[in-house]
Amino acid sequence: MYVEGAVRWGAWIALLLWGSVATGASLASSSPWPCPHRCDCQQEALQVNCSTRHLSAVPEGISRDSHRLDLSRNRLKTLARRQFAGLPRLRELDLSDNILSVVEVEAFQGLQNLHTLRLRGNRLKIIPVGVFSGLAGLRLLDLAENEILVFLDYTFRDLTSLQRLEAGENDLVFISHRAFTGLAGLQELNLNRCNLTSMPTEALSQLQGLTRLRFRRLSLGTLPNNSFRRLSRLRELTIAQSPWLDTLAPNSLFGLNLTSLSITGCNLTAVPYAPIHHLVYLRYLDLSHNPITTVRAHLLGDLLRLQELHLVGAGLLRIEPGAFRGLAHFRLLNVSSNLLATLEETAFHSVGNLETLRLDRNPLACDCRLLWVVRRRLRLDFDGRPPTCSHPVKAQGREFRGFSESELPGLFTCRPARILNRKPQEVRVEEGHTVLFFCKADGDPTPAISWLTPHLSLVSPTGRIRVLPNGTLEVRYAQVQDSGTYLCVASNAAGNQSFSVGLHVRGFSSSSSSGRNRSAPFFPEGWVLPSGYPQSIANSNSSAQGPSPFPFDAKTLVIAVTMGFLSFLSSVVICFIFMFFWSQSKGQIKHTATIDFVPRSSAGTSGHRGDRVDTGRFTMKLI
Ligand SMILES: *[C@@H]1O[C@H](CO)[C@@H](O)[C@H](O)[C@H]1NC(C)=O
Ligand SMILES: *[C@@H]1O[C@H](CO)[C@@H](O)[C@H](O)[C@H]1NC(C)=O
Ligand SMILES: *[C@@H]1O[C@H](CO)[C@@H](O)[C@H](O)[C@H]1NC(C)=O
Ligand SMILES: *[C@@H]1O[C@H](CO)[C@@H](O)[C@H](O)[C@H]1NC(C)=O
Ligand SMILES: *[C@@H]1O[C@H](CO)[C@@H](O)[C@H](O)[C@H]1NC(C)=O
Ligand SMILES: *[C@@H]1O[C@H](CO)[C@@H](O)[C@H](O)[C@H]1NC(C)=O
Ligand SMILES: *[C@@H]1O[C@H](CO)[C@@H](O)[C@H](O)[C@H]1NC(C)=O
Ligand SMILES: *[C@@H]1O[C@H](CO)[C@@H](O)[C@H](O)[C@H]1NC(C)=O
Ligand SMILES: *[C@@H]1O[C@H](CO)[C@@H](O)[C@H](O)[C@H]1NC(C)=O
Ligand SMILES: *[C@@H]1O[C@H](CO)[C@@H](O)[C@H](O)[C@H]1NC(C)=O
């Protein structure tokens, strides 16, 4: 009896001693560590693990001293009011992956030491105001992967210490204006896969301590002006996988002072230069997986501190020279998986600062423009994926790292632009003719051809005087003031060459059009060429083809009848006779010969009402 008692006492003392050694003095006075049936308890960690035990209710008999309670992956359906009132020391509570659909108001009352609460992966549809009351010490709340549609006003008002709120994967469609009231300490908010159709600007403006904000799957087409008012502490903004988002309003990011911005997997067709230009502290910019084809010159220069740009899988065709001009700290460019044929050294402020370059999976032409990369191939960090050549054939498929110094002179070379067929082109025409000047050039890489007017301005690809896609200069309806010397410039990375042509346009002085204002276009008001006939009527290149496709449509007939059909016909006949002789005598100007069928302009002839052809208001214009 005595012995038995001594043994029992000894065991008791040993247990006490062991407990205090293992968990520190705070436990010295505690009662024995009870452990609920079916759970794993680790007394030294003050941890009760009831994960994956098919529990349908919170088990009884959990020690008051527990710091961590894991009830994840069970079948808990509801949490009653003051459900955890007996566990005042609890710091972490994990209720993830249950089937919770009802959490009563004040369910967590009494857990004033709780700092982490996980409710991820349940079936919560609504969170009544007051559910989180009593959780004044909570720092992390995870509500992701539920079915919450709205956040109501004051839902989180008691969580004054909350630092991080995970609310992603919820089909959230609306966030009430005062939903985030009280979350003054919140630093990080994740709203991944929300179905928000408008930016919860008003609600977010309550979160003045926020430093990181993440959205995914916004159902938004445009990010409106001032979307992030009063978030002056925000440093990282991520918007991902929002395929409808194609526009950032010019002031959408106004008021922010970001160091990191990611807008990926959206539908932006251009780098949002204007919305981001004020972000002078930005260091990290990721615009990957947007259909952006060009990084334009000199438009990122305000981002003084930018260090990294990621533009992966964007269909990028060109990074213009000067694109990163002004970015003195730029050290990482990730343009893997695009359609770039080259990347010129002149794109950078200083390639000496560049440390990491991902240029792999681009159809690169290995000519002199990429020589700077191959020269730095041992110093640059290619992140394990060195670029490879797609062109020329002899270097196809070869990695930049693999070239030896001795083969470089034969590879990575360019041939300067050279204009072919420099036969002098001097063209003299009557006004109204269409004139083409050819300019073809070769070189490696293929030269770009541009034309300068006699006033040395660049000819654009549209307009009356334009450059055709094949480099030909086209002057339509030549006018006297178009006369002069035009310059064709062919240029590529290795050099440029130019070539001049002359155009002399004589004023047209036949009786039928002597009075026309020569600088005005030929088409008089009210007359439109039938759109089906532009080639055959307006530009037919031989007189014999002229008459056959006449536009005797209703409009022409009505006009003809009202104006006197006879005089119309006689005008036509006179014109054709005239045309016949003209073509006999002037047939040599083949490539410019065009027939233009236009009536006389009432505006253009206003001063010449007395003309003898006045009755036939049509003149056949031969060009
Ligand atoms: C609880 O146990 C499960 C396995 O039963 C384990 O996956 C989980 O990490 C444990 N939880 C803690 C907090 O250690
Ligand atoms: C949210 O968006 C997803 C996919 O975009 C869609 O399947 C789901 O039905 C949407 N939910 C609501 C509530 O609109
Ligand atoms: C956004 O702000 C810019 C600049 O103030 C303004 O030009 C633009 O019209 C605004 N857009 C909208 C949709 O209000
Ligand atoms: C993305 O933009 C293009 C045109 O810019 C449009 O055709 C396409 O439908 C847009 N995609 C989505 C998912 O809205
Ligand atoms: C912007 O952010 C940077 C770096 O985080 C900080 O140094 C700077 O003071 C901030 N500027 C303003 C106006 O808040
Ligand atoms: C470049 O982008 C790819 C794809 O997003 C990524 O896997 C890789 O880590 C990036 N490389 C660097 C150096 O950032
Ligand atoms: C260029 O294109 C125009 C029209 O497309 C054509 O008339 C001209 O002959 C072409 N020039 C050359 C040199 O191929
Ligand atoms: C042509 O080359 C010269 C010098 O080589 C250069 O000054 C000029 O700007 C170039 N012109 C064009 C259009 O590239
Ligand atoms: C000719 O037309 C141009 C513009 O259409 C006008 O500026 C000019 O004054 C006109 N000249 C005469 C002589 O009517
Ligand atoms: C111009 O004439 C040539 C041969 O004379 C012919 O091949 C060409 O199709 C004609 N062009 C037009 C627009 O009729």
298-350 per-position pLDDT tens digit: 999 999 999 999 999 999 999 999 999 999 999 999 999 999 999 999 999 99
Say what angle helices 554-563 and 565-586 make with each other, to 10 degrees.
110
What pLDDT was estimated at residue 309? 97
Round to whole Å and give the CA distance between 226 and 256.
9
495-543 per-position pLDDT tens digit: 889 999 999 999 866 544 444 554 444 443 333 333 333 333 333 333 3
Please choose, from the candidates 511, 477, 481, 586, the residue with its C-alpha nearest in 3D space to the C-alpha of residue 542: 586
**Ligand showing the shortest atom-to-Cα distance for residue 358:** 6
Q: Which atom of ligand 2 is nearest to the CA of 195?
A: 1
**Ligand showing the shortest atom-to-Cα distance for residue 257:** 5
pLDDT bin (cut points 50, 70, 90) of residue 44 is confident
What pLDDT was estimated at residue 585? 60
Q: Which residue has the higher pLDDT, 468 or 590?
A: 468
Strand, helix or coil at 586?
A: helix
What pLDDT was estimated at residue 33? 74
Out of 436, 473, 591, give the residue to mutate to test ligand 7, the one with the largest number of ligand atoms within 8 Å of its CB: 436
70-95 per-position pLDDT tens digit: 999 999 999 999 999 889 999 999 99
Please choose, from the candidates 271, 300, 302, the residue with its C-alpha nearest in 3D space to the C-alpha of residue 288: 271
- Tell me: pLDDT of 282 over 50: yes
Of the chain, the percentage scoring pLDDT greater than 70 comes to 77
- Listed in sequence order, the residues at least 6 apart from 585 whose beta carbon sits closer than 8 Å to its beta carbon are none
Ligand 7 atom 13: residue of nearest CA: 438
Contact 348, 373 (CB under 8 A): no
Q: What is the 3-state secondary structure (H, E, C) of 393-405?
A: HHHCCCEHHHCCH
CA of 573 to the centre of ligand 8 (A): 55
- Listed in sequence order, the residues at least 6 apart from 219 whose beta carbon sits closer than 8 Å to its beta carbon are 195, 196, 197, 242, 244
DSSP state of 566: H
Strand, helix or coil at 124?
A: coil
What pLDDT was estimated at residue 507? 83
Contact 200, 176 (CB under 8 A): no
What pLDDT was estimated at residue 35? 86
C-alpha neighbours within 13 Å on the C-beta side of residue 18: 10
Round to whole Å and give the CA distance between 439 and 490.
9
151-202 per-position pLDDT tens digit: 999 999 999 999 999 998 888 888 999 999 999 899 999 998 777 888 899 9
Whether 434 is in the pocket of ligand 10, judged by its Cβ within 6 Å, is no
Strand, helix or coil at 152?
A: coil
CA of 491 to the centre of ligand 8 (A): 8
Out of 150, 171, 175, give the residue to mutate to test ligand 2, the one with the largest number of ligand atoms within 8 Å of its CB: 171
Backbone angle region of 479, left / alpha / beta, with phi > 0 → left and psi within -120 to 50 → alpha? beta
Tell me which of 253-257, 483-487, 557-561, 608-612 is least confident: 608-612
What pLDDT was estimated at residue 246? 93
Q: Which atom of ligand 3 is nearest to the CA of 222?
A: 13
Ligand 7 atom 6: residue of nearest CA: 472
Contact 473, 437 (CB under 8 A): yes
- Tell me: pLDDT of 423 over 70: yes
Instruction: Please give the domain boundaries of the chain with CATH numbers for all domains.
Output: 34-215 (3.80.10.10), 420-543 (2.60.40.10)
Round to whole Å and give the CA distance between 92 and 117.
6
Round to whole Å and give the CA distance between 52 and 97.
10
Ligand 10 atom 11: residue of nearest CA: 541
Round to whole Å and give the CA distance between 364 and 392.
9
Round to whole Å and give the CA distance between 440 and 480.
26
Ligand 3 atom 14: residue of nearest CA: 225
Q: In what helix (H) or strand (E) does residue 597 lie, and over which residues does it extend?
A: strand 595-599
Round to whole Å and give the CA distance between 394 and 384.
24
212-229 per-position pLDDT tens digit: 999 988 888 999 999 998
Mean pLDDT of 464-478: 93
Q: To the nearest 10°, the Cα dihedral for 104, 105, 106, 108?
A: 40
What pLDDT was estimated at residue 598? 46
Q: Which atom of ligand 1 is nearest to the CA of 52?
A: 5
Cα-Cα-Cα-Cα dihedral sign, residues 289, 290, 294, 297: negative
pLDDT bin (cut points 50, 70, 90) of residue 609 is very low
What pLDDT was estimated at residue 410? 81
Q: How many Cβ atoms are within 10 Å of 9's Cβ, its own excluded?
A: 10
